[in-house]
Amino acid sequence: MTLSPSVLSVPMAPGVLPRCAEARCVVRSNLPVNGEYRLLTLDAPPEVLDCQPGQFFQLLCPEPEGEHPFLRRPMSIYGYDAEAGQLQFLYKVAGAGTRGLATLRPGGMLNVLGPLGQGFSMPQHWQDLLLVARGVGLATLAPLARAAQRSGRRLTAICSARRPELAMSVDLFRGYGAEVIVVHDEDGSSTPEALRGLIEARIAAGRVDAFYTCGSSRLLRLLQDLGQRHGIPGEIAMEQQMACGLGMCQACVRPFREEGGIVQRRVCREGPVFPLLEAIA
Amino acid sequence: MTLSPSVLSVPMAPGVLPRCAEARCVVRSNLPVNGEYRLLTLDAPPEVLDCQPGQFFQLLCPEPEGEHPFLRRPMSIYGYDAEAGQLQFLYKVAGAGTRGLATLRPGGMLNVLGPLGQGFSMPQHWQDLLLVARGVGLATLAPLARAAQRSGRRLTAICSARRPELAMSVDLFRGYGAEVIVVHDEDGSSTPEALRGLIEARIAAGRVDAFYTCGSSRLLRLLQDLGQRHGIPGEIAMEQQMACGLGMCQACVRPFREEGGIVQRRVCREGPVFPLLEAIA
Amino acid sequence: MSAADLSVRLGAMTLANPIMPASGTFSEDLADVFDLDLLGAHVLKTIMRGTRAGNPVPRVCDLQGGMLNAIGIPSKGIEDFRSRMLPYWQGYRAPLVVSISAHTLDEFARLCAEVSLPGVAAIEANISCPNIEADGNAFAMRPDTTAEVMRRLRAETDLPLWAKLTPNTGEPVAVAQAAEANGADALVTANTALGMAIDVRTRRPRLGNGMGGMSGPAVKPIALRMTYQCARACTIPVIGCGGIATLDDVLEFLIAGASAVQVGTATFQSPTVMARLVAELGDWMQAQGLASLSEIIGSVEMPEGEAA
Amino acid sequence: MSAADLSVRLGAMTLANPIMPASGTFSEDLADVFDLDLLGAHVLKTIMRGTRAGNPVPRVCDLQGGMLNAIGIPSKGIEDFRSRMLPYWQGYRAPLVVSISAHTLDEFARLCAEVSLPGVAAIEANISCPNIEADGNAFAMRPDTTAEVMRRLRAETDLPLWAKLTPNTGEPVAVAQAAEANGADALVTANTALGMAIDVRTRRPRLGNGMGGMSGPAVKPIALRMTYQCARACTIPVIGCGGIATLDDVLEFLIAGASAVQVGTATFQSPTVMARLVAELGDWMQAQGLASLSEIIGSVEMPEGEAA
Ligand SMILES: Cc1cc2nc3c(=O)[nH]c(=O)nc-3n(C[C@H](O)[C@H](O)[C@H](O)COP(=O)(O)OP(=O)(O)OC[C@H]3O[C@@H](n4cnc5c(N)ncnc54)[C@H](O)[C@@H]3O)c2cc1C
Ligand SMILES: Cc1cc2nc3c(=O)[nH]c(=O)nc-3n(C[C@H](O)[C@H](O)[C@H](O)COP(=O)(O)OP(=O)(O)OC[C@H]3O[C@@H](n4cnc5c(N)ncnc54)[C@H](O)[C@@H]3O)c2cc1C
Ligand SMILES: Cc1cc2nc3c(=O)[nH]c(=O)nc-3n(C[C@H](O)[C@H](O)[C@H](O)COP(=O)(O)O)c2cc1C
Ligand SMILES: Cc1cc2nc3c(=O)[nH]c(=O)nc-3n(C[C@H](O)[C@H](O)[C@H](O)COP(=O)(O)O)c2cc1C
Ligand code: FES
Ligand code: FES
């Protein structure tokens, strides 16, 4: 029995195009990429492949033995290819849901909902991009790097990690034409102070039009400070516990700075990508 | 990764042998035998293979898509072979639990609890045995027929069905040296009246020491009546909704006739095999 | 789409079909996922008079067979409702049900009057939210407080008034009867069950607010029981709510006595589930040769000794 | 077996470990599955004074993440308890807890006196069974009836007296305080939640009795919430019960404030689960380097604004 990817279709109001869809995808491979991460490659129907870097899917994770993930789990799009009909996620096995994902075997099915949220923007005048990634944030920034290369931007990627074993992300960003700088905790090169010097030197050299980052509060604070001092804009992809992923339930709010004061925004709907300076660490 | 069958071991009180055990079995095969039935063959650890015909296991059924069987499901032992380390169940796909069983693939795991309950007795002076089986009752009587053959009894099996398509059970009982009589609803040969004549003729010929049957109320009433008239004993395997399968919860009671009046007995503990005359249809 | 007649009556209202969203699990964000006019009604997230931030995160956590939430009622207030939400929802054919709540009787009554506007088909009084007061307290936990709040609301509006009840009570029938006696036109059974979950590694509650409301399939048997109890004890229609995800779930509530159902958490697992349920219910009606849902509503056969 | 000290105090009693069975899910039939003296205590199926048949079948049905039961209390009466059960259970070292129930105060009091026998370590008053009275009614649904029954029972026995509470109440804290004020030495939180399930093909309830009690993982968040509420509001120890199946579940209840736990439905899925939990808890204590369970009991860190 060969299964093929399909989409759950439902009637739309006249003239309305579905923003996202629920699709049954077929697992092509689900391979460990190092101790903690796995790369999941799916055959996906075209209806869910019109994606933007920074968007995410909500995955209905299978139940690993003895555990019962109930809600869908948000995962950034690591790769998408409408022509090949492929969708990729890079995930870290953390709890029940991702342990369930790890049980998927080639030929198996996975129900995904997406693409969801607002991706990264890349205005024409942002030509020299500085990506600062740590941990699984790499998954979120990878498609951005690919899009940057395609539109001919200059790319620098600072990859931060606990130990200097980042082969995968280094190769990946190099593959997208980025200059890669590896910093790590063991030699102290990943501290905010160390990074500040490094980045300020590049700013001084006129090499930074915009920052892109995700997750880490320490990195966010550093980049906000640098951005403010030097007038450099940027974007950050953020995370929050979710239920619906569509904007309905208000589970996923975070506070943001706006002119009028602090406002709550939904990570799943207004985000997950937000202007760097509006985010609150 | 090859999995091997294993048993969950726990400390016993000194001198007490475990009556049953919870075991992880490996699926050897799970094949359809006709439209409605499937034969499940498991590699099982020796701790659960000291079985008696008529006993049962409680199976922790996997969840089929969109359904959530929670309680274990009782299944008669269809075959057991301590030397080969094998355990077999013949089941009819009825609801969530058995639909879950149907998803098992060779190499997969199934958690079973057993053997449970009291099996058939076969006193020495019961030499000429008449089995009357209908539907999935066949699964319960099959190991009895095998034991009867091994201890040199004479065996007649009346196989009753809706239509005359019982190839499997006919072959099986013949294989155990039984004379097989097929009756079915389409030609009226399976009505109690038709069976009565057939069985009374054999009784008259001195060919029936004991009856064995299961399930059907109509058959039970007929055999009870014949048993009482002719002083022939017998046993019946009964079913009831279960929770624990061990005698603790009192979910599985049925009423039985005793000298003092009607009593409630637990199908899982005092049964599932009961004296024919005490059962209430 | 099937041609079966799925319409149901809820007092003076008639719905095209009995499937509607549960408050707090639905918003205009679903409009570009499926055609919202397929639904029997639109029930909005509860609003309160003033603006409120809602509860701290995490606001949700998942459970075996369900979830906990302590969203609270983040509210942009009555003005936002009037100026932005109401005009948007008036663009649909499906009747609009506005859910309201408040801390005090006076505020509740005032809000009830304020939302009684053209374009609003009914008001759902959320007298059962466990996420507003400490320890999940709510009006609908007791018959006397239920009577009082419903009397006050009834005085403020001529619109159909629904009372949304809570499973967190030992007296669901007395509460339901108090709501009916004091002017409710329909009952919604029920809101979430008060629950809690702790992360054993941090020893902190898994919700930022400590306790929260449990929803999803895990609460279905409780909500179904309440639906049956209330339908049996009251004459106003009952709307079932709690763990409904499949056609069988819908039928189970209708058979128990519900005239319509609300679908909440299931939409989080599959955002198109309500559209599928409408279609499946139609197909089922045709396959069964039933002309009207009234043939199955309340058709449960209880065992002897139980008043059906 | 690990060497960790798992003992816990329940008022005047000390248990070797905090794991015990829940009433109605345990019997001597488990003795040849594992060594029952591994358990912290033995809690028997509720008995009533006279003989009773129990409820019609089906008495159980399964649910997503749990089950419903309406066993009723089939009882062989007090004589059978004295002559057969008590001598059997006296053969164990683990303390014996006898669960009792009755329809009337007088019968309850009389039974309480009658079971106060040598060899009985404590009496659990099942004032919360939803399967005896119509519509699941029980003493523990209200503080006044709880107070009354506990006062009567207290007068009849010098043994430790546990009150088993129900989640089917809107006033769990008031009920718990009423039990404590009237002589309870410990609380058990909680019995089953009143639920219902309907077979949509037959339109009949899936239990012979109509409604029944829900148990298993689906009710865990409700039981945990009650455990926390009662432990916070009372000074007597609380015994957690509801959906406990794993070591994390045990820890969750202890952290919420339970001094011990009861395991029910999980034993149906795996009859040896309690033996495993005792062993796993010991291993966990050693791995954490904890000397006593008192270090984790009640250690939940509630968010600000919540009284912990
Ligand atoms: C927009 C977005 C994109 C993400 N992209 C990726 C990615 O590409 N790769 C990756 O490995 N992880 C990513 N995450 C984090 C990922 O969602 C969580 O690691 C995952 O949900 C954990 O689920 P679990 O059941 O394995 O762990 P558990 O810890 O058991 O999860 C328990 C609950 O907490 C929630 N949760 C846990 N961690 C997070 C988190 N960091 N953010 C939001 N909710 C969380 C889960 O959804 C679940 O409801 C992303 C999160 C968001 C919000
Ligand atoms: C001692 C015993 C031996 C059995 N042996 C066999 C066998 O060898 N082969 C076989 O095909 N079936 C056998 N059955 C019946 C089998 O247990 C049921 O068909 C099965 O439990 C149905 O589960 P389900 O989830 O597929 O169906 P569902 O109808 O969805 O089951 C719902 C609930 O009803 C219970 N139930 C349904 N039918 C029965 C029944 N007849 N007896 C008891 N409980 C039931 C289930 O256990 C479950 O709790 C036996 C039953 C008993 C009690
Ligand atoms: C995230 C979330 C938010 C909710 N918000 C509200 C609300 O604002 N008002 C209300 O009356 N009910 C609210 N509810 C309760 C639902 O309307 C519904 O009563 C409950 O979830 C049970 O139904 P379900 O199991 O189908 O979700 C909320 C439920 C969830 C899960
Ligand atoms: C089949 C069954 C029978 C029960 N009988 C009783 C009983 O006789 N007395 C009682 O106090 N509780 C009884 N209970 C309730 C349990 O003791 C326990 O409180 C409840 O099941 C919740 O725990 P669990 O989820 O671990 O099962 C019974 C529960 C089940 C499932
Ligand atoms: S997850 Fe529901 S609004 Fe964002
Ligand atoms: S199934 Fe529990 S006593 Fe028989």
First to last CA, chain C: 34
Q: What's the confidence (pLDDT) of residue B166? A: 61
The pLDDT score that the predictor gives to residue D1 is: 47
Question: What integer pLDDT is reported at residue A166 of this predicted model?
Answer: 61
Q: Would you state the pLDDT for residue C129? A: 85
Percentage of chain A lying above the pLDDT 90 cut: 74
- Chain D adjacent subunits, 3+ CB pairs under 8 A: A, B, C
Q: B116: CA distance to ligand 6 center in Å?
A: 11
Phi-psi region of A265 (alpha: psi -120 to 50; beta: other; left: phi over 0): beta
D234 CB contacts (<8 Å, ≥6 apart)?
A: D176, D177, D180, D187
Residue C222 has pLDDT above 80, yes or no: yes
For B128-278, CATH gives 3.40.50.80
| pLDDT at position D306 | 52
Q: With 70 as the cut, is the pLDDT of residue D30 above it?
A: yes
Query: Closest Cα to atom 7, ligand 4: which residue?
Result: D24
Cα A92 to averaged position of ligand 1 atoms, centre (Å):
9
CB atoms < 10 A from the CB of D54, how many? 18
Annotated catalytic residue within D129, D230, D234, D241: D129
From the CB of D172, is ligand 4 less than 6 Å away?
no
Residue with the larger pLDDT of the pair B251 and A163: B251
Strand locations in A8-144, DSSP E?
21-32, 37-43, 56-60, 73-76, 79-81, 86-92, 109-116, 128-134
- pLDDT for the residue numbered D307: 41
Counting ligands in written order, the one closest to the CA of A248 is: 5
> Strand pairing partners for C63?
C66
Q: What is the least distance, in Å, from the CA of B203 to any CA of chain D?
A: 36
Long-range contacts of D153-156, Cβ-Cβ distance < 8 Å, separation of 24 or more = D153/D108, D153/D109, D153/D112, D153/D123, D153/D125, D153/D183, D154/D182, D154/D183, D154/D184, D155/D109, D156/D109, D156/D110, D156/D112, D156/D113, D156/D116
Dihedral of alpha carbons C51, C56, C57, C62, sign: negative
Give residue C9 CA to ligand 4 midpoint distance, Å: 40
* Token digits of residue D81: 């308890």
B45 contact partners, CB below 8 Å, separation of at least 6: B5, B6, B7, B21, B23, B25, B85
Partner-chain residue, chosen from A71, A246, A251, that has the shortest CB–CB distance to C271? A246
CA atoms within 13 A on the CB side of B161: 16
pLDDT, tens digit, 9 for 90 and up, residues A186-226 = 888 888 889 999 999 999 998 899 999 997 888 999 999 99
In chain C, where the domains are located: 8-295
Collapsing DSSP states into helix, strand and coil, what is residue C262? strand
Whether residue D277 has pLDDT greater than 80: yes
| Average pLDDT value for residue range C32-38 | 94
Q: Which amino acid is at B164?
A: P
> In sequence order, what are the residues at sequence separation of 6 or more whose Cβ sits closer than 8 angstroms to the Cβ of residue A171?
none
- CATH homologous superfamily for A6-116? Translation factors (2.40.30.10)
Is C294 exposed, middle or buried (CB count within 10 Å of its CB: 0-12, 13-18, 19+)? middle
Total count of residues recorded for chain C: 308
pTM of the model: 0.97
- Tracing tokens 């009784």 back to the chain, one arrives at B203
Task: Tell which one of B241, B244, B264, B270 to mutate to probe ligand 6, the residue whose CB is within 8 A of the most ligand atoms.
Answer: B244
Res C1 pLDDT > 90 = no
pLDDT tens digits for range D178-219: 999 999 999 999 999 999 999 999 999 999 999 999 999 999
Taking the centre of ligand 5 as the mean of its atom positions, its distance from the CA of residue C75, in whole angstroms, is: 15
CB B43 within 8 A of CB B80: no
Residue B177 has pLDDT above 80, yes or no: yes
Write the pLDDT tens digit of every residue in C247-298.
999 999 999 999 999 999 999 999 999 999 999 999 999 999 999 999 999 9
Query: Of the candidates D303, D247, D227, D304, which has an alpha carbon nearest to the alpha carbon of residue D6?
Result: D247
Give C181's pLDDT tier (boundaries 50, 70, 90). Answer: very high
- What percentage of residues in chain C have a pLDDT greater than 90? 91
Using a CB-CB distance cutoff of 8 angstroms, which residues of chain C are in contact with residue A245?
268
Dihedral angle sign, alpha carbons of residues B257, B259, B261, B263: negative
- A169, pLDDT greater than 80: no
Buried b (16+ CB within 10 A) or exposed e, D72-87: bbbbeebeebeeebbe
Kind of pairing, strands B179-184 and B154-161? Answer: parallel
| DSSP secondary structure code for residue D4 in this structure | -
Determine the average pLDDT of the residues in D256-263. Answer: 98
**How would residue D45 be classed by pLDDT, with cut points 50, 70 and 90?**
very high
Residue in this structure with the two tokens 């300020």, named with its chain if needed = A200
Query: What is the best residue among B39, B67, B75, B80 to mutate for testing ligand 2's pocket, by most ligand atoms within 8 Å of CB?
Result: B75
| Residue A254 CB less than 6 A away from ligand 5 | no
Within an 8 Å CB–CB cutoff, is residue B66 touching chain C? yes
* Catalytically annotated residue among C61, C112, C129, C234: C129
Tell me how far CA of residue C55 lies from CA of A89, A141, C190, C208, C253, in angstroms: 31, 31, 22, 7, 32
Residues having CB closer than 6 A to ligand 2 are B 56, 69, 71, 73-76, 89-92, 94-98, 136, 139-140, 239-242, 267, 272; D 62
Q: Which ligand is nearest to the CA of D58?
A: 2
Would you state the pLDDT for residue C305? 62
User: Please, which pLDDT band fits residue D132 given cuts at 50, 70 and 90?
Assistant: confident
Question: What is each CA distance from C11 to A251, B221, D269, in whole angstroms?
Answer: 34, 53, 46
d(C-alpha D264, C-alpha D276), whole Å: 14
User: In whole angstroms, how far apart are CA C215 and each of A2, A196, B169, B194?
Assistant: 36, 47, 48, 56
pLDDT digits (tens, 9 = 90+) for A86-109: 999 999 999 999 999 999 999 999
Shortest alpha-carbon distance between residue C97 and chain D (Å): 27
Chain B residues within an 8 Å CB radius of D27: 247-248
Query: Of D26, D51, D268, which to mutate for an interface test with B (greatest number of B Cβ within 10 Å)?
Result: D268
The pLDDT value recorded for residue B165 is: 66
Q: How far is the CA of B74 from the centre of ligand 2 (A)?
A: 6
Instruction: State whether B71 and D62 contact (CB < 8 Å).
Output: yes
- Structural element, H or E, at residue B211: strand B210-214
**D308: pLDDT strictly greater than 70:** no
Could you give the CA distance from residue B157 to residue B154 in angstroms, rounded to a whole number? 10
pLDDT of residue A92: 93
Domain spans of chain B, in order of start: 6-116, 128-278
Interface residue A65 vs chain D (CB under 8 A): no
Alpha-carbon gap, residue B74 to B58, rounded angstroms: 4
The answer to whether domain B6-116 and domain B128-278 are alike in fold is no
Contacts of residue D276 in chain B, CB cutoff 8 Å?
8, 10
Active site residue D61: no
Q: Averaged over B228-239, what is the pLDDT?
A: 96
CB of B170 within 8 A of CB of B142? no
Which residue in the block uniquely carries the two structure tokens 């555990």?
A: A67
Separation CA B165–CA C238 (nearest Å): 50
Q: Does residue D273 line the site of ligand 4, with CB under 6 A? A: no
Q: Go through C146-160 and write b for each residue having 16 or more CB atoms within 10 A of its CB, e for each that does not.
A: bbbbbebbbebbebb
Give the neighbours of chain A: at least 3 Cβ pairs within 8 Å. C, D
Contact A188 CB / ligand 1 (< 6 Å): no
pLDDT of residue D39: 98
B235 CB contacts (<8 Å, ≥6 apart)? B54, B120, B121, B210, B211, B212, B213, B273, B274, B275, B276
For testing the chain D interface, which of C203, C226, C297, C299 should be mutated: the one with the most D CBs within 10 Å? C203
Average pLDDT over residues C176-192: 98
Ligand 2 atom nearest B101 alpha carbon? 26
Hey, are the CB atoms on B66 and C246 less than 8 Å from each other?
yes
Which of B250, B256, B264 is the best mutation test for D, with the most CBs of D within 10 A? B250
Token match 């916070």: residue? D232
pLDDT bin (cut points 50, 70, 90) of residue D65 is very high
Taking 90 as the threshold, does the pLDDT of residue B186 lie above it?
no
Q: What percent of chain C has pLDDT over 70?
A: 98
pLDDT, residue A187, reads: 87
pLDDT tens digits, A243-263: 999 999 999 999 999 988 999
Cβ of B247 less than 6 Å from ligand 6? yes
Residue D217, both tokens: 């993982």
Q: Which residues of D touch A66 (CB under 8 A)?
A: 246
Backbone dihedral region for residue D119 (phi beyond 0: left; psi -120 to 50: alpha; all else: beta): left
B243-274 tens-digit pLDDT: 999 999 999 999 999 988 999 999 999 999 99
Q: Is C197 exposed, middle or buried (0-12, 13-18, 19+ CB in 10 A)?
A: buried
Q: How far apart are CA A20 and CA C282, in angstroms?
A: 26
Question: Looking at B155-159, C197-201, D277-281, which range is the least confident one?
Answer: B155-159
Chain center to CA of B162: 20
Judged by a CB distance cut-off of 8 A, whether residue A68 touches chain D is yes
- Whether the Cβ atoms of residue A42 and residue A88 lie closer than 8 Å to each other: yes
| DSSP E strands, C128-282 | 161-164, 186-189, 193-196, 198-199, 204-205, 211-215, 238-241, 260-263
Query: What SS3 class is residue B244?
Result: coil
Cα B88 to the center of its chain, rounded Å? 11
**Domain D8-295, CATH homologous superfamily name and number:** Aldolase class I (3.20.20.70)
